[in-house]
Amino acid sequence: MKVTVNGAPTDVGDDATVATLVAARAGGHDRVAVARNGDVVPRSSWAGTRLTPGDHLEVLAPTAGG
């Protein structure tokens, strides 16, 4: 199905979840956060949150900043 991840159109499998997306896009990263359609998806919900067509996802990780 087609979703948008970090501003870019992306194809994901029909049974994709937030957890599979994070593993694919931020696998090596510690301290990741995900927003789906403007709402925070808690880490505890990643595996249980299936993606749906047209979802807008933001996958974020720490960076330097003041």
Q: What residues line the site for another protein (CB under 8 A)?
A: 6-7, 25-26, 28-35, 38-40, 42-43, 58-66
Closest to another protein by CB, 14 vs 64, is 64
Q: Report the nearest approach of another protein to the CB of residue 19 (Å).
A: 14
Q: Report the nearest approach of another protein to the CB of residue 55 (Å).
A: 16
Backbone angles phi, psi at 23, to 5 degrees: -60, -40
Q: Report the nearest approach of another protein to the CB of residue 1 (Å).
A: 21
- Both structure tokens of 43: 């880490």
By C-alpha distance, which of 55, 29, 53 is closest to 41? 55
Alpha carbons within 13 A on the beta-carbon side of 5: 21
